[in-house]
Amino acid sequence: METVSQEIKVATGSEQMPAHIARPASGGPHPGLVVVMEAFGLNDNIRAITGRFAAEGFVAIAPNLYFRQPNNVVAYNDLPGAFRLMGSIGDDQVVADMTAAINFLKTQKDVKPAFGTVGFCMGGRISFLTACRNQDVKATAPYYGGGMVTSRQPDVKPPIAFVEGLKAPVLAFFGGKDAFIPLAEVDAFRDALKNAGKTAEVVFYPDADHGFMCDERPSYHPLHSKEAFSKTIAFFKRNLG
């Protein structure tokens, strides 16, 4: 499907948040997706993934959640830089910024009122957290989001603490070689969703590593990347129409 994309600004409170938006060149109205960046920032990889969703029939927006910070995109080999940026944002502000992105989609004539969230790495956690705290989200697909059940920061509730507010089905992906997310955390996430009576599928690839969707990282897994993307597209089409 032919697509168009552009860099835009989205009002969040009194500020203007940069974002990348991609959409089908014609037709509609289409379901809306918020694509959440990795810890490394809103880079070309996330823009490309946003474009892939647009090519499948979604209006997809990727907000720059680090926009308040200088030097807010770092290379994949710069983990200290990624941790610095990741530590600069708080959950309440992130949810407000994500809500601003959804509210922007609501104003678009080619977007129907059916919104999903999908994210990678840090963005996996944020996409799920937003689904728990914003009931406009009708489906969420977090990829290798860490700290879902046990918070990694003092005085910060993990996303699962807000699970009672979750109205969206979940399709979550994890890898067995992911040193950032132990298998016990994956199991705890799956169990917590089940115990809360939520509709969820947790896909676990034993031979996949953290970042397996990103073809710019050594951990890229072509087979699982292709399969997971296909499952995600089917999931969103099924739940967002």
Which residues partner with 33 through β-bridges? Answer: 60, 116
Given the DSSP bridges, would you call strands 59-63 and 111-120 parallel, antiparallel or unpaired? unpaired
Contact 204, 176 (CB under 8 A): yes
Contact 119, 94 (CB under 8 A): no
pLDDT, tens digit, 9 for 90 and up, residues 47-65: 999 999 999 999 999 999 9
**139, 141, 237 from 116: Cα distances, Å:** 5, 8, 10
Which class is 3-240 in CATH? alpha beta
Q: Return the closest-CA partner of residue 102 out of 138, 144, 142.
A: 138
pLDDT band at 145 (very low <50, low <70, confident <90, very high): very high
Tokens of 223: 């087979």
Among all residues, which ones are annotated catalytic? 121, 178, 210
Q: Return the closest-CA partner of residue 234 out of 1, 20, 30, 53.
A: 53
* Length reported for the chain: 241
Checking if the pLDDT of 153 tops 90, the result is no
Would you say the pTM of this structure is higher than 0.95?
yes
CA 39 to chain centre: 11
pLDDT band at 220 (very low <50, low <70, confident <90, very high): very high
pLDDT, tens digit, 9 for 90 and up, residues 85-127: 999 999 999 999 999 999 999 999 999 999 999 999 999 999 9
DSSP 162: G
Tokens of 21: 């938006």
Contact 174, 144 (CB under 8 A): yes
Contact 21, 30 (CB under 8 A): no
Q: 218 preceded by cis ω (within 30°)?
A: no
DSSP 176: T
Q: Calculate the average pLDDT of the chain.
A: 97
Domain ranges of the chain: 3-240
